[in-house]
Amino acid sequence: MCLAIPAQVTEILAGDQARVALGGLHKIISTSLVDNVKTGEYLIVHVGFAIGKLDPSEAERTLALLAEMGATPDNPAAYR
């Protein structure tokens, strides 16, 4: 089973990379598969790659559902 997680862009980096935040977690991901990424946007992240953009309300809904399943930033093992 695979899981793609919504994450918000906090910083655009060089070389098709961005820093994203998910709760208290911050990760650097590749943005090479998504055009025109901007700070503040939500991306769908899978295995360290952004695979698409996501509407903010849909991102919040998805994150709320993950939290209901116990996948929260204070439980990082849930994201593995």
Q: Are 30 and 50 in contact (CB under 8 A)?
A: yes
pTM: 0.73
Reduced to 3 states, what is the DSSP secondary structure of residue 47?
A: coil
> What phi and psi values does residue 5 have, to the nearest 5 degrees?
-115, 135
CA distance 72 to 27: 15
What does each of the 80 residues of the chain score in pLDDT, given as a tens digit?
567 889 999 999 999 999 999 878 899 999 999 999 999 999 999 888 888 998 999 988 888 887 887 766 565 555 54
Residue 40 pLDDT: 96
Residue 25 pLDDT: 86
Structure tokens at 71: 């996948």
